[in-house]
Amino acid sequence: MPIKSLEPYLFELKTVSNCPLDVLRNAVVGIDVEHYLSRLFTPRKEPNLEAIGGLPMTLKMLMDSDFKFFKDLNVKPIFVFSGLRTAIQYSYLEQAEILSRERTFRHVWDDKVNKEYFNESFRDPDSPLTMRPVMDQFMELLDSKNVEYIVSPFSAWAQLQYMLNEHLINCIFGSTDGLLVEGVDRIILSIEFESKQFKYLDKSNIFSKLNLSPKQFKDISMCIGNGFQPFTLNIFPHIPSQSTFTALHHFVLNGGSIYNTLLGLTDDGRSFEIYMKGCSALRFMPVLKLNGRVEPRQINSDASCLSVPSSGIPNSSGTDSSSIKGTSSEKVPEDMHEFIGQRLPDELFFYQSIGLTTFDLCETLVHSNAVERLPPDMALTSLYRRLVTSDNSLDIRGKTINLLANSLNRYYQFKKLKLTTYFNGSEEYELVQRMSPPIFLSLQPLLIRHATARSFDLVTLLSSLSDDFLAECTIPRKASNSDDTKISTNYELISTSLMRTLLLYGFIKEGEFKFNAWGDALRCIARSSYNSQYLLLVLWFFKQFPDLKLSDLLEPYDLHSINKKHKEQAILISKFVGLFSMNNLSSVNYAYKVSRPLLQFRSVFDKLNSNIGGAVRSNLIALLLLNQDDLDKYERDNSEWRKLILELPFRSTLPSVLLGIISQQFFEMYLDNFDLSKSFASINESFQFVHASSSAELIRGFKCFQEVAGLVKLLGEKGLIVDKEVLELFAQSNEFVDQMLSKSA
């Protein structure tokens, strides 16, 4: 997040400089991913992106063209992702009142629902595209283009600053936040490839034009909110108006002092505390050092990364004061955890840096609170609430965190955690992560080895599942120290993580290591000809909601039809089809139809997807962290690490609900006239800008739904889905689809 309201002001004052793109020739440009995305997706680009979910449709095309320019100029981009949120950033999310971003979302959704083809964007300059949902797929795109990236431990800007100072990069493409960062003179604000120039901010020039000292600039920025400190402090409590950079700038120019004003506020020092934390976070933000240490740049720890080999007693190098050297005269305060958050081990930050991220879990562990805010549809369905707050969900979440904390300092293992939902006011839930014995021990025997397979493939794993297979994979604990227990290939690591996740979620009987009824259903997924991960997720969905009612599935909906008989079927089909991805989507600035109920349904699945993904990653991290004897992890280079991460299942966000929207429009027509070809022609025409042949994709989606229906039928037979209405509707819908497919064939 940039310094709020500053950028337009800088343009207004003409302090943004232009430069021909040629200047960047041969440069290594460090790019703040969040800023890059916000540049690509300005409010006007893909205004409905958040309303349909998924990855921006034009992202790949835009990146292709950008990278082509980079290549022509021999520019090497390095993308730097933001990492964990610091304490102050996290506490911004822990507000019971609705955040400004959510308010925007709500407002835009209301307009979108009430007015057809309302094209206001969910984004505004101060709340750009959220990076985390698209992060993994973005990494995938970068990897496919052989572009290097790194996830910083905390702020991307601090990491960029460090990399610049270490001469790894020549310049930085980032947001206005960089004006706060020391040692960065120029910041590329935007690159206009078409006009062959880029805009940049010259710090000294801006300060002199604004007539502000760096301290005054920082004070103003800390008051109006920025990437390091997101709160907007209203330092004039009697004035309800918003604090903007312009207003505070004038205030300072007129002899006002932000600092003195903050000191004088009557809010029990809360604002001043936020200010202090923001300034301190900016100053002491830990960065990932070249040697792998994560520490503030003022400190240079030269402790050995090895534990003492003979004794086996953990070397407390991290806290050993003798090995810590300050590299500058700046003193580092002892209570950095107050404004940064508690410290996690360097190895964990390394896994994070290569993309093995478990942001939510780590943040929960560090900040003692799991924050759950509303999904992008800004509405709370019962399914979503249950997915977050049901006892089962809380239990699994606790177990996942236990898994992660197990390898960490004992402090984390006994830390009291809570989950707070901020759906409508705040509600607290207890999150139990203290377990004895730790969950890792009960999962540990499950270890999948494969002699030949190197890379992971979900279908391969699912098709080989059987009780025999499990028995083979289970290693008695006493033997766990032998050489056989070492797993190192991608296949072994990911399969083991996934199987342990299945165990965690109750597909496998604990202790016996045998599949239960749910686990048996896994095998039928392997037979899917379309998307086994999609089916696995659907299976997981039914597993999560054993007492699913029909109304949970159908409501809400916005499909309008007078055909009572098939309406419910059409709704059901559309919702499940909407979770299915479309191939070969055009790169189009989608500004057309949206459907809030479809997005709400997607939100449930997306949440489930990320929960599972988090559990898989926790398992993998636990494996890696505790795989002390594994030599392979020291041998992997960056590209091999990336490959491992990119093969992980459940890592990327779900596709957009576009197919569901197409399906709904199809049914709205088809249920009226039952003219298949006409209806197909109609959707082909109205969605031709999205896809060359929407009907073909829809038919593919229908076929996939048939597999879902088949899975539901199987689950019904096994007695895993008890609600007869649900089973019946699926059967009817399956028939209905059958009819259509046979007609179309």
Give me the 598-617 binding string for another protein, x by CB under 8 A, dash otherwise. --------------------
Q: Choose one: 176-184, 289-297, 555-563, 676-684; the region binding another protein (CB under 8 A).
A: 289-297
Give me the 115-154 binding string for another protein, x by CB under 8 A, dash otherwise. ---------------------------------x-x----
Nearer to another protein, 139 or 374 (CB): 139
Largest CA distance in the chain: 81
Matching residue, tokens 């559309």 = 574
Omega before 437 within 30 of 0, i.e. cis:
yes
Looking at 114, 238, 468, 719, which residue binds another protein (CB under 8 A)?
238
Q: Are 450 and 464 in contact (CB under 8 A)?
A: no
Q: Choose one: 61-69, 287-295, 538-546, 677-685; the region binding another protein (CB under 8 A).
A: 287-295
Nearer to another protein, 368 or 460 (CB): 368
Minimum CB–partner distance for residue 317 and another protein (Å) = 6
Minimum CB–partner distance for residue 105 and another protein (Å) = 24
Is residue 278 close enough to count as binding another protein by CB under 8 A? no
Minimum CB–partner distance for residue 619 and another protein (Å) = 15
Q: Are 543 and 516 in contact (CB under 8 A)?
A: no
Nearer to another protein, 626 or 692 (CB): 626
For 385-515, strand residue ranges (E) read: 417-421, 427-431, 508-509, 514-515
Looking at 573, 585, 625, 646, which residue binds another protein (CB under 8 A)?
625
Q: Choose one: 307-315, 424-432, 503-511, 725-733; the region binding another protein (CB under 8 A).
A: 307-315
Strand partners, 571: none
Reduce the DSSP state of residue 339 to 3 states and report it.
coil
Please state, in angstroms and rounded to a whole number, the distance separating the CA atoms of residues 201 and 211.
15
Is residue 239 close enough to count as binding another protein by CB under 8 A? yes
Site for another protein in 409-468 (CB under 8 A): 409-412
Calculate the alpha carbon distances from 473 to 219, 490, 496, 500, 620 in Å: 59, 16, 9, 11, 16
Inter-axis angle of helices 564-577 and 658-673, to 10 degrees? 160
Looking at 65, 382, 424, 639, which residue binds another protein (CB under 8 A)?
639
Is residue 629 close enough to count as binding another protein by CB under 8 A? yes
Site for another protein in 347-376 (CB under 8 A): 347-350, 353
Nearer to another protein, 275 or 422 (CB): 275
Nearer to another protein, 366 or 572 (CB): 366
Length of the chain, in residues: 745
Is residue 715 close enough to count as binding another protein by CB under 8 A? no
Please state, in angstroms and rounded to a whole number, the distance separating the CA atoms of residues 14 and 632.
54
Nearer to another protein, 353 or 533 (CB): 353
Site for another protein in 314-333 (CB under 8 A): 314-319, 321, 324, 326, 330-333
Query: Cα dihedral sign for 347, 353, 359, 364?
Result: positive
Is residue 485 close enough to count as binding another protein by CB under 8 A? no
Nearer to another protein, 290 or 681 (CB): 290
Q: Choose one: 86-94, 249-257, 442-450, 678-686; the region binding another protein (CB under 8 A).
A: 249-257
Matching residue, tokens 């089962």 = 392
Compute and round to an integer the Cα radius of gyration of the chain.
27
Is residue 725 close enough to count as binding another protein by CB under 8 A? no
Site for another protein in 332-351 (CB under 8 A): 332-340, 342-350
Residue 373's region, left for phi above 0, alpha for psi from -120 to 50, else beta, is beta
Nearer to another protein, 21 or 657 (CB): 21
Site for another protein in 68-87 (CB under 8 A): 74, 76, 78
Q: Are 227 and 221 in contact (CB under 8 A)?
A: no
Q: Choose one: 135-143, 199-207, 609-617, 660-668; the region binding another protein (CB under 8 A).
A: 199-207
Looking at 93, 168, 379, 731, which residue binds another protein (CB under 8 A)?
168
Minimum CB–partner distance for residue 542 and another protein (Å) = 36
Of 647, 611, 707, give the one whose Cα is nearest residue 458: 647
Q: What is the DSSP string of 125-181?
A: TTB---SHHHHHHHHHHHHHTT-EEEE-SS-HHHHHHHHHHTTS-SEEE--GGGGGS
Q: 740: which 2 tokens?
A: 């259509």
Minimum CB–partner distance for residue 488 and another protein (Å) = 13
Query: Cα dihedral sign for 607, 609, 610, 615?
Result: positive
Q: Which residues of 676-696 are buried (b: 16+ CB within 10 A; e: fewer)?
A: beebbebbbebbeebbeebbe
Minimum CB–partner distance for residue 291 and another protein (Å) = 5
Looking at 633, 651, 691, 700, which residue binds another protein (CB under 8 A)?
633
Q: Choose one: 207-215, 369-377, 419-427, 727-735; the region binding another protein (CB under 8 A).
A: 207-215
Site for another protein in 26-45 (CB under 8 A): 26-28
Minimum CB–partner distance for residue 439 and another protein (Å) = 16
Site for another protein in 213-232 (CB under 8 A): 215
Please state, in angstroms and rounded to a whole number, the distance separating the CA atoms of residues 275 and 100.
19
Q: Are 53 and 243 in contact (CB under 8 A)?
A: no
Nearer to another protein, 236 or 469 (CB): 236
* φ, ψ for residue 343, nearest 5 deg: -90, 140
Q: Are 569 and 679 in contact (CB under 8 A)?
A: no
Nearer to another protein, 18 or 677 (CB): 18
End-to-end CA distance of the chain: 51
Strand partners, 17: 200
Omega before 556 within 30 of 0, i.e. cis:
yes
Q: 97: which 2 tokens?
A: 């009142």
Looking at 82, 127, 229, 280, which residue binds another protein (CB under 8 A)?
280
Is residue 171 close enough to count as binding another protein by CB under 8 A? yes
Nearer to another protein, 317 or 694 (CB): 317
Looking at 2, 296, 398, 660, which residue binds another protein (CB under 8 A)?
296
Q: Site for another protein (CB under 8 A): how many residues?
A: 133
Is residue 211 close enough to count as binding another protein by CB under 8 A? yes
Looking at 1, 3, 6, 24, which residue binds another protein (CB under 8 A)?
24
Is residue 190 close enough to count as binding another protein by CB under 8 A? no
Looking at 8, 11, 12, 107, which residue binds another protein (CB under 8 A)?
12
Residue 177's region, left for phi above 0, alpha for psi from -120 to 50, else beta, is alpha
Of 533, 558, 568, give the one whose Cα is nearest residue 649: 533
Is residue 256 close enough to count as binding another protein by CB under 8 A? yes
Please state, in angstroms and rounded to a whole number, the distance separating the CA atoms of residues 58 and 67.
14
Is residue 2 close enough to count as binding another protein by CB under 8 A? no
